[in-house]
Amino acid sequence: MPIYNVEQYIERALLSALNQTYQNLEILIVDDLGHDNSMNIVHQLKSTHPRGNCIRIITHKKNLGLGGTRNTAIESAQGKYLYFMDSDDAIVPDCIETLYNIISQEKVDFVAAGINQIDENENSLKITNYPNITRKGKLCMAQYFYEEKNDIWVTTWNKLYNLSFLKEFHIHFLEHVYHEDIVMHAMLALNTRSFTLTNQTTYLYNCKREDSITNMEQGYTLKHLNDLTIVFSEIRRLIQADNNLSKHLQKEINLYYLFEIYHRYLPAMYSNIKRVDLIKGLARLSQNCLPPILETRLTFKSIKRFLFLKLPFNIQYLIKSHKYKKSRA
């Protein structure tokens, strides 16, 4: 769990981890040198909670950002599995037990579960669940996500990972960069040999926090824009270095990231970033990220399939059900 200026939220987040039904836990707290009372709250819980001895605190020598704290967790974890959660969110009491039972039974690289998006009063706003599914084989996640256009959230949290898998394929995060989850997700997709999705909901995502780690409502800055070039340049490098991708799969991956670049660049156009900086940012993206992607021929069918993926799960289900009934008529 990364700690950086989250004094309003850390107690609830850490208590949700301490109160898990699964007993054999090590809770890694990575102190990224914030300036508020967050770490005092952590130390108080460590000394007073009945399971406080489960907490292990790692303090950075300098601020490394969210990506750096997650790299520290991968390097420092001592268990067989690793679960990420943000310090402004919470998990349900049986989260780890549920995911542990699945991953130990299915013997997969990771298992992902559903998300309950809540406001700051813990009122449920939207629940997003996966279907129950297990896939195995080389590039199974890449085929499921890019080729078949099924959803697996880009966010790092609410997945239980086999730690040896993360280390074997050197899956890591870029440091001091926004959108770092996108690169990790790409590494995951290109290297996963097996995964399981469950329709159980285990994560409470505080989507209304104004300065949330993943919430962009606080404003799109010039750094957000500049970091897009770093992120998509790294993804371009990963794709070009992977010799296992078929031409068809590579085309589907390029298509996905073409739309993703548009999706990530769009908020900048409505921000307070100066027009000259917007043009420079788009020029960097075009020069460093777009050339191989634009070689992909965009068809009406491929665009339609991508836009379908962006619909809510319940709308996707209704459309699929209608098509199925129509085909059976």
pLDDT tens readout for residues 41-100: 999 999 999 999 999 999 999 999 999 999 999 999 999 999 999 999 999 999 999 999
Q: Per-residue confidence at 197, pLDDT binned at 50, 70, 90?
A: very high
Q: Which residues contact 31 (CB under 8 A, 6 or more apart)?
A: 3, 39, 42, 57, 58, 59, 60
* 124 burial via Cβ count (<10 Å: 0-12, 13-18, 19+): exposed
- Spatial CA neighbour of 75 closest among 86, 64, 90: 64
Specify the pLDDT at position 315.
Answer: 61
**Complete domains list, the chain, with CATH:** 2-206 (3.90.550.10), 222-318 (no CATH)
Residue 304 scores a pLDDT above 70: no
Q: Which of 54-63, 123-132, 293-302 has the highest mean pLDDT?
A: 54-63
Residue 297 scores a pLDDT above 60: no
Q: What is the mean pLDDT of residues 217-242?
A: 85
Q: Per-residue confidence at 214, pLDDT binned at 50, 70, 90?
A: very low
Instruction: Tell me 316's DSSP state.
Output: H
Q: Which residues contact 107 (CB under 8 A, 6 or more apart)?
A: 194
What's the chain's average pLDDT? Answer: 87
Specify the pLDDT at position 217.
Answer: 39
Between 306 and 16, residue with greater pLDDT: 16
Whether residue 233 contacts residue 147, with contact meaning beta carbons closer than 8 Å, is answered with no
The DSSP-derived string for 246-304 is -HHHHHHHHHHHHHHHHHHHHHHHTSS--HHHHHHHHHHHHHHTHHHHHTSPP-HHHHH
Between 121 and 142, residue with greater pLDDT: 142
Residue 55 to residue 11: CA distance in whole angstroms: 13
Specify the pLDDT at position 252.
Answer: 87
Q: Which residues contact 167 (CB under 8 A, 6 or more apart)?
A: 74
Look up residue 272 and give its two tokens: 């307070």
What global pTM score does this model have?
A: 0.85
